[in-house]
């Protein structure tokens, strides 16, 4: 009887530890893999420096539209910041991509960070000026975009040489953590600084972050591109043409660009955040910072639970679903009325969907490229992922000026979902794409 009681007690006690063990295993499977940060010193330094620099630039990403809206009271004028940025992004992204395949990528990163520090100083001078002309702000916005287009391809092309092939999805997820942490910290700080101290302190904070990112770039070891013995990277237009020739006919790779453009051009409402924060929700500069930060809060939570992404083989299907969820969440944001909390929740859901799309698209891209082409293709890729939101700013501001801000948001979200469905139907090989076990993607 005593034995039976002991057995019964033992069987009743076992589910507790077993359940905890299973929950622990599940959580480890979901938690982000930080192995690239632990194992690669240069990846860690580059990651940290980029986090510092991007956090500062995200302060300006809130402060500059806020400044333009205060000067003009026009959402279209805010949207035109994107137009001022798109031309330098295209020219520099295409033109400097070949440089990242020819010269030390560390040098490109350092030069761009020094240039960004100078533009931050000029924005600070404009704030001290009081009422700088719009052209002055647009020129500096375009210059910053162009300088970011120099460092972006160099950083992206370096990652596969700093981590192992098996750790590449984890590195892509960590890069998304970096982006979205900066896009939470930066806008949140911007809202507080703008509300309490004003534009001068906001631009001063970005200048301070530039000092940190320059210091990190100086700590990097040289990052020369790897080349096969006897191979040469062509210069000038020949190098650019070779990059586009590689893309021609690779429908899966082109689809990763197209579906992201669809999401960002139609479903990016950030140019409307100043008018929504100040005139609809009436939450002031601090609420404006929350609107900018909300998508990144969701994206960061999504990125921190990406331990499962390495187990997903049907990555094309995952991208399509993620973009569709982004569009639906943006549509819901446009239907949230004056409920500020609901609006923030919808933006956070959109951000979580976007980060999943970005991780899978980044993995497909990096597994598709030989190192001799990574700089050029990464330049085109960064041109798309950074240029798309700028075009979205113009589209959102224009539609809002013609109809209304809410119509602009809702119609853009619906167009995003429709666009994702059309692309999936038009390119079935993208929808059915599975990660290859080895070698490069040929589709």
Mean pLDDT of 235-242: 65
Q: What is the per-residue pLDDT across 177-194, written as a single tens digit (0 to 9) for each?
A: 898 889 899 999 999 999
Q: Decide if pLDDT at 12 tops 50.
A: no
The pLDDT score that the predictor gives to residue 207 is: 96
Q: What is the per-residue pLDDT across 17-50, written as a single tens digit (0 to 9) for each?
A: 666 666 555 445 556 788 999 999 999 999 999 9
Average pLDDT, the chain: 85
> Residue 349 in 3-state DSSP?
helix
Whole-number percent of the chain with pLDDT over 70: 86
The pLDDT score that the predictor gives to residue 378 is: 73
**Residue 397: exposed, middle, or buried by beta-carbon count in 10 A (0-12, 13-18, 19+)?**
buried
Q: What is the per-residue pLDDT across 156-180, written as a single tens digit (0 to 9) for each?
A: 888 888 988 788 878 888 887 898 8
Distance CA 178, CA 100 (A): 22
For the chain, which domains are there? 39-225+234-431 (1.20.1250.20)
Give CA separation, 406 vs 82, 172, 198, 225, in Å. Answer: 20, 34, 28, 47
Q: Which of 53-62, 159-168, 332-341 has the lowest mean pLDDT?
A: 159-168
Torsion of CA 199, 54, 262, 376, to 10 degrees: 130
């Amino acid at each position: 009887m005593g034995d039976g009681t002991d057995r019964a007690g033992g069987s009743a006690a076992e589910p507790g530890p077993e359940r905890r063990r299973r929950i622990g295993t599940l959580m480890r499977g979901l938690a982000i893999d930080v192995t690239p940060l632990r194992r690669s010193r240069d990846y860690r330094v580059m990651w940290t420096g980029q986090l510092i620099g991007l956090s500062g630039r995200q302060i300006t990403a809130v402060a500059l539209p806020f400044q333009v809206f205060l000067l003009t009271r026009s959402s279209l004028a805010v949207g035109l910041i994107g137009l001022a940025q798109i031309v330098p992004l295209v020219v520099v992204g295409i033109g400097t991509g070949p440089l990242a395949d020819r010269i030390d990528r560390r040098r490109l990163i350092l030069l761009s960070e020094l240039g960004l520090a100078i533009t931050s100083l000029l924005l600070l001078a404009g704030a001290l000026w009081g009422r700088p002309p719009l052209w002055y702000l647009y020129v500096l916005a375009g210059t910053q975009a162009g300088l970011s287009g120099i460092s972006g391809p160099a950083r992206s092309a370096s990652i596969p040489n700093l981590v192992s092939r098996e750790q590449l999805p984890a590195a892509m997820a960590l890069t998304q953590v970096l982006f979205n942490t900066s896009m939470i910290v930066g806008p949140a700080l911007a809202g507080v600084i703008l509300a309490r101290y004003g534009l001068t302190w906001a631009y001063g904070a970005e200048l301070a972050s530039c000092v940190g990112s320059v210091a990190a770039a100086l700590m990097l070891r040289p990052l020369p591109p790897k080349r096969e013995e006897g191979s040469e990277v062509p210069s000038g237009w020949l190098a650019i043409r070779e990059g586009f020739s590689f893309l021609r006919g690779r429908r899966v790779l082109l689809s990763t660009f197209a579906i992201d453009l669809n999401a960002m051009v139609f479903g990016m409402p950030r140019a409307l955040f100043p008018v929504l924060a100040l005139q609809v929700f009436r939450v002031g500069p601090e609420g404006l910072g929350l609107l900018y930060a909300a998508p990144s809060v969701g994206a960061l939570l999504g990125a921190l639970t990406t331990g499962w992404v390495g187990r997903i083989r049907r990555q094309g299907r995952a991208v399509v679903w993620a973009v569709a969820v982004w569009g639906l969440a943006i549509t819901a944001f446009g239907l949230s009325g004056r409920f500020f909390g609901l609006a923030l929740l919808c933006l956070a859901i959109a951000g979580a969907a976007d980060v999943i799309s970005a991780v899978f698209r980044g993995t497909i891209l990096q597994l598709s490229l030989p190192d001799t082409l990574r700089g050029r293709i990464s330049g085109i890729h960064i041109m798309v992922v950074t240029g798309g939101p700028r075009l979205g700013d113009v589209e959102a501001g224009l539609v809002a000026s013609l109809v209304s801000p809410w119509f602009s948001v809702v119609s853009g979200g619906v167009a995003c979902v429709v666009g994702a469905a059309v692309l999936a139907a038009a390119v079935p090989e993208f929808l059915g794409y599975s990660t290859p076990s080895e070698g490069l993607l040929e589709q």
